Amino acid sequence: MSERKTGSVALGIVFFTVFLDLVGFGIVLPLLPFYATELGASPFQVGLIIASYSGMQFLFAPVWGALSDRYGRRPLLLVGLFGSAASYIVFGLAQSLEVLLLSRVIAGIMGANIPVAQAYIADSTTAERRARGMGLIGAAFGLGFIFGPAIGGGLSAWGFGLPGFVAAGLSLTAASAAWFWLPESLAPENRVRDGFGALSAVTGRARAAARVLRRRRLRDPIGVFFLGTMGFAGFTTIFPLFLENPLGLTALHAGGMFALVGVVSAGVQGGLIGPLVERHGERTIAAMGGTVLAVGVVAMGLAASLGATIVSLLGVGLGWGLMAPSLQSLVSRRAMANEQGEVLGVNQSASAFARVIGPVAAGWAYGALGHGLGFVAGGSLIAVAATWVWIMPARDAGAAPPQPERASE
């Protein structure tokens, strides 16, 4: 088998394992608020349980990446996949809020190994083919968030435990595929051997954030992405609660509607975003997407029927599909060629931190202010982000790459 064919097989296995793992995550996503409510959780506690997953990812992603630099990609991917399976088994067996929380903490720790998969692709591809390889991770994310919620919603008719066991089976299938067919990608001579890499990764991320956020042209789009992600994460937390009360719908409906958002968002990102950005620029499309997203979230708080809810969801999927990739592209355009990894890493960290704060804040607002004002608060936050895009200086005009600037700029 040729080297290129071997590399293609390895990338296919990485895609397959990440896809199955993310389908497992998507299966439990629409069920979690229903499950937690059944166990006696308040909206605020639902937000805390959901945020625990993102919080663990935020803390452990750099640790997984650093450990993979020392011990290789394959062992860390296997630990993460088997650990994810264990978390879903705990989820399926949960009979208390404490055990349900434990399942999400384990899932967050073990699900923080996406950077390891990205590093595997970087090891296995040439510079010319790397973007295509990284696109496999994005495709796995998109497909996982389409199929997972639909499967989880359908399985919820037999109780909330069964979807957890099915998700565990998918993670074990992915782990088995990696065990038998995934070779190690990091050569022994390229591994880190000095220092405590995991600790260095955490402290290094803090230093990188301080360096990047001192510069306004990077701070602006990263700040917008933080606010937009915070509002969207809050929406996904309280939306199932809204379906249950006041609409009286079930996890089956939640799964289908989450899948609808995934289909719309993936369709926009796959077909519309490129031509629109080429014609109007990232800033304009991000602002338009944020405006549509804000209107969709606020309209959800006013929806009184299933039809109005679906129309609002279409706005949410369209708005997020326009806003998120445009902002990520804008951040990349404003970074210099020799700092792309650092800047995009800071942007990803900001997004992860937003997914910690957003669910907690949304759960509190939903419980304290009611469902209508809960959605209005989230939509208002997104509207602030859209306004910020409109008014930020257009420093990315033109195709020339940015030059180094003073830290005070």
CATH of the domain at 324: 1.20.1250.20
- Summarised one tens digit per residue, pLDDT across range 131-178 is 566 667 767 777 888 899 999 999 999 999 999 999 999 999 989 988
Domain-located, residue 401 = no
Number of domains within the chain: 2
Domain-located, residue 406 = no
Domain-located, residue 342 = yes
- 177 & 211 share domain: no
C-alpha span between 206 and 374 (Å, rounded): 32
pLDDT band at 20 (very low <50, low <70, confident <90, very high): confident
Note down the domain range covering 123: 1-181
Tell me which of 181, 213, 241 is where a domain ends.
Answer: 181
Instruction: Tell me how many degrees the CA angle 157-106-134 measures, rounded to the nearest 5.
Output: 90
pLDDT band at 1 (very low <50, low <70, confident <90, very high): very low
pLDDT band at 193 (very low <50, low <70, confident <90, very high): low
Q: What is the mean pLDDT of residues 379-391?
A: 94
Q: What are phi and psi of 406, to 5 degrees?
A: -70, 145
C-alpha span between 234 and 155 (Å, rounded): 25
pLDDT at 206 over 90: no
CB 103 within 8 A of CB 88: yes
C-alpha span between 329 and 75 (Å, rounded): 32
- 172 & 209 share domain: no
Domain-located, residue 199 = no
pLDDT at 396 over 50: no
Tell me which of 148, 181, 214 is where a domain ends.
Answer: 181
- Summarised one tens digit per residue, pLDDT across range 32-60 is 999 999 999 999 999 999 999 989 988 88
- Summarised one tens digit per residue, pLDDT across range 223-246 is 999 999 999 999 999 999 999 888
Give the chain's mean pLDDT: 85
Question: How much is the pLDDT for 198?
Answer: 54
pLDDT band at 194 (very low <50, low <70, confident <90, very high): low
- 233 & 147 share domain: no
Q: What is the mean pLDDT of residues 169-196?
A: 82
- Summarised one tens digit per residue, pLDDT across range 332-347 is 888 886 677 678 778 8
Domain-located, residue 32 = yes
CB 341 within 8 A of CB 353: no
- 32 & 150 share domain: yes
Domain-located, residue 278 = yes
- 224 & 136 share domain: no
- 175 & 266 share domain: no
- 127 & 216 share domain: no
- 238 & 176 share domain: no
- 133 & 264 share domain: no
pLDDT at 404 over 50: no
Domain-located, residue 51 = yes
Q: What is the mean pLDDT of residues 177-190?
A: 85
Question: How much is the pLDDT for 400?
Answer: 40
- 212 & 343 share domain: yes
- 155 & 210 share domain: no
C-alpha span between 75 and 257 (Å, rounded): 36
- 150 & 215 share domain: no
Domain-located, residue 188 = no
